[in-house]
Amino acid sequence: MDFLDPDLQAYAEAHTSPESDLLRKLNRETHLNVMKPRMLSGHLQGRVLAMISQMLRPQRILEIGTYTGYSALCLAEGLAEDGVLHTIDVNDELEDMVRSYIAQAGLEEKIQMHIGQAADVIPKLKETWDLVFIDADKKSNALYYEMVLDKVRPGGFILADNVLWSGKVVEKFRPKLDKDTEMVLDFNQLVYQDPRVENLLLPIRDGILVARKK
C-alpha cells in the first residue's frame, strides 16, 4: 500500500493535523491485537476522510466495512448536528471493541452499527445518503456501488478504498493478472465510464476513488 518514499510519507503525516488521543489509542490497539492491521485507515487517510466529511457536513453517512471503527470515527467528525452514520460489518468478533470506542467518543447517538452481510443490510436502511464509504470485500465493490447509488442524493458522494490494490492495477507492479486485481480494475473502469457520476481517483495510501453523483 505504500507508494511514497517513507521519508515523504513521514513528512506528509508530520504536517497533517495529528490523530486525537482516542484515534491514536485505537490505532495502537488494532496493530497490537487485531489481525490484518494494514486494513486500518490510519492517520493520513483518516484525516482525508474527516476533511471530506467536514466539507460536506452530511446528515446521513453509510460506511460499508467497519473493521475496528477508525474510519467511522473519522467520518463522524463532519456529521451535521442531527446527522447519523450507519456502519456495516460482517465480523461480529470485533463488535464489542468497536462499540467501546464509539462510546468513548461519545457517539452512541451518532453511529449505528449493523452486523451482517452488507448486501442484506443495505436494502433495510431507508435513508438518502449524503456520503458513502465502501471499504469491504473488494469482489463486491460493484454490487455495493450499484446498490447505494440510487439512494445517494444528487451532489452526494461515494468513496471507495483500495482502488490501487497495492499498485497491482499497473502492469509493472504485478507478476500476473490475478482475479482480485481484475475485479478492482473492472470496478475502477465501471465508475470511470458511469455517466451518472463524476469521479476522481486519489493516490492516497492504497487509493481512494471519489465519485460525485450528478
**52 falls within a domain:** yes
C-alpha cell at 201: 481517483
Q: Which amino acid is at 165?
A: W
Q: Nearest 5°: phi and psi at 213?
A: -75, 130
Spatial neighbors of 208 by CB under 8 A, at least 6 apart, are 45, 48, 159, 160, 161, 163, 201, 202
Strands, sheet with 197-202, edge to edge from the N-terminal-most edge strand: 111-115, 84-89, 60-64, 129-134, 152-161, 208-213, 197-202
**61 falls within a domain:** yes
**16 falls within a domain:** yes
Domain extent for 87: 6-213
**120 falls within a domain:** yes
| Eight-state DSSP code of residue 206 | T
User: Is it the case that residue 1 has pLDDT exceeding 80?
Assistant: no
Helices first, then strands: H and E counts in the chain:
8, 7
User: pLDDT digit string (tens) for 117-157?
Assistant: 999 999 999 999 999 999 999 899 999 999 999 999 999 99
User: pLDDT digit string (tens) for 176-208?
Assistant: 899 999 999 999 999 999 999 999 999 998 999
Check which CATH number belongs to the domain holding 158 and give it: 3.40.50.150
Q: At what angle do helices 42-56 and 6-14 cross, to 10 degrees?
A: 40
Question: What is the total count of domains within the chain?
Answer: 1
Mean of the pLDDT values across residues 61-88? Answer: 98
Report the pLDDT value the prediction gives residue 4, as an integer from 0 to 100: 74
Instruction: Count the neighbouring beta carbons within 10 Å of the beta carbon of residue 111.
Output: 25
Instruction: Count the neighbouring beta carbons within 10 Å of the beta carbon of residue 156.
Output: 21
**24 falls within a domain:** yes
CA separation, residue 64 to residues 8, 11, 86, 116, 147 (Å): 30, 30, 8, 11, 11
Report the pLDDT value the prediction gives residue 2, as an integer from 0 to 100: 64
Which pTM does this prediction carry? 0.95
Spatial neighbors of 176 by CB under 8 A, at least 6 apart, are none
**1 falls within a domain:** no
Q: Nearest 5°: phi and psi at 80?
A: -60, 165
**156 falls within a domain:** yes
CA distance 16 to 36: 25
